[in-house]
Structure 1
Amino acid sequence: MSKKIVGEDGKTYVQKKPFYKRVWFWLIVIIIVIVAASSMGGGNNKATKVSSTTKSKSATENVSKETFKVGDTIKADGVTLKVNKVEYNDGSSISQPDSGKSYVIVNVTITNVNKSKASYNPLDFKIDDKGNQTDLTEIVMDDNGNNIVNDELKYGDLSKGATVTGTLVGQAVKADKLQLLYTGSLFSNESKITVDLN
């Protein structure tokens, strides 16, 4: 608040606060600090391969490539992800994929390695079919009306050391180069892990 002062000449003057005592100044400082901390404090978000079903060199192996393959155990942001298997399904009389596409059924395992809590969600994953990125939230029914997937990946939280395995279903052209993209967060557009599915 401004302070009113009566001068020796009898006039009233308004004494303003210095800029560093104003609320707007401190809001700007706080915003700058938060932006700087978030851009620097993210740590090493680069995905690294921990192990592979085809290789067994060392317990932790840094991988220079950014794309992994089915069977690799990949670590990013304190969580490991492993794509266990990929299957394709052409549907049934009840569930049919879009014309020219097949259902892509991806089984994954997520482990919280060193975070106090790690959230998981099927919306953390996308299937990339030549640049067309779609969710893996399809439900496929067999001819009897039963879901062909018994272990759908739901959403939840993993405490440190906990693991969840589940299946995701999407649609894509089977002959195209398909990739699984894992962002690790519903609010992140940048994929942290990319796995070649075929």
Structure 2
Amino acid sequence: MNIRKWGMHMKKPFYKKIWFWLVVLVIIGGAGAAASKKKDKDESEQTVVTEATTEKISNTTEGTTAKATTEATVIKDGKYAISINSYSVEENYDGSEVLIIDYSWTNNSDKETSFMLALTDRVYQNGIQCSTISVYVDDVSAGDQMLKIKPGVTNDIKIGYKLQDKTNVSVEVNDLYDSDDLYLKETIDLGGGEGTYNEASASSAETSVKIVDMFLSENYSGEDVLIVKYEYTNGEKKVTAFSQEFRDAVYQNGVECSSWTISEDADGEPSILYIKPGATIIVEEAYILNDTTSDVEIEVKTLFGGKSILSEKRSIN
């Protein structure tokens, strides 16, 4: 079993930052509300195609441009309106590349609200949501998403997304409480082609979860932690996340091991990231071990109904 230490050199783990937990709570609450709410659509929706824009990429390949093809579906007389002012590719604190999108959004509702409490923004590459966790770039602050604006006011906001590669990205912004209300859908061409996701073949995919790796590590306080990497394929007909579909657990001698928030040093993806139908993602989960000698039982069950998806007993030595 490999031993890897992570989190020891972090200035401040992201899971101790209050905005991270606010984001998680809003995502979970919004997803639950969207699942139960049925709403008749306004027949007078209109499709607006805006002019393609060209933006120079910063801190990447000098002189290279990235083109955005806009196919935004705008809901007529919607509660909100949103568009992209500009975008750029910047270098993150760890050397990875981050897509920075400068949005302009208008609050057309009858009460003051914030971007975070009104809208759900997701950027996808290869059918996988790009993470906004651990993005530290100048002029980008997660706190800006919590600032409220009054009815009729338009405000600009910058959000950073960690890129997987240079393939095209799909930008989608929906109503937080009704995912059927789509306010923006735009494709940004970063010059790397269409990527690996094939929407046409998504209907043939079946839901599957399997363990692809596991190893011992230590968290920032020196506790022994088991890291498990799961490969998850979304066989549903909707966009969803591992954390929205399953409950995972690890037991030693019949006693459950406490779950642990993955460090920003982890090389897998957080289980809260959404993936499109038919897409596959590698997610990492961490568990504080009760001891470092006993075998572990790893279980994954459906979040609703408790159907067993995976059950394996493994040695950690």
User: If the TM-score is normalised by the length of the shorter chain, which range does it land in?
Assistant: 0.5 to 0.7
Q: What count of residue pairs does the alignment treat as equivalent?
A: 133
What is the aligned partner in structure 1 of residue 74 from structure 2? 75
Of the three residues 104, 107, 110, the one matched with 1:112 is 107
What is the aligned partner in structure 2 of residue 128 from structure 1? 124
Counterpart AA for 1:95: D
Distance 2:146 2:128 in 1: 24
Q: CA RMSD of the aligned region, Å?
A: 3.5
SS at match of 1:39: coil
Of the three residues 166, 169, 191, the one matched with 1:178 is 169
What is the aligned partner in structure 2 of residue 20 from structure 1? none
Q: Contact (CA 8 Å) 2:145, 2:157: kept in 1 or not?
A: yes
CA deviation profile, 1:91-143 (whole Å, cap 9, x unmatched): 3xx4332xxxx211111000123x21354218711110010013435432xxx
More strand as a share of residues: 2
Distance 2:148 2:84 in 1: 19
Counterpart AA for 1:103: V
SS at match of 2:162: strand
Counterpart AA for 1:126: R
Runs of 5+ in structure 1 lacking a partner?
Answer: 1-36, 56-67, 141-146
Counterpart AA for 1:110: W
Distance 2:103 2:178 in 1: 20
Runs of 5+ in structure 2 lacking a partner?
Answer: 1-36, 54-67, 190-317
TM-score (normalizing by structure 2):
0.35
In the superposition, relative to structure 1, how do residues 172 and 53 fare at CA in structure 2: closer, same or farther (>3 Å)?
same
What is the aligned partner in structure 1 of residue 39 from structure 2? 39
Distance 2:129 2:82 in 1: 19
Q: Contact (CA 8 Å) 1:181, 1:191: kept in 2 or not?
A: no
In the superposition, relative to structure 1, how do residues 44 and 133 fare at CA in structure 2: closer, same or farther (>3 Å)?
farther
SS at match of 1:95: coil
SS at match of 1:121: helix
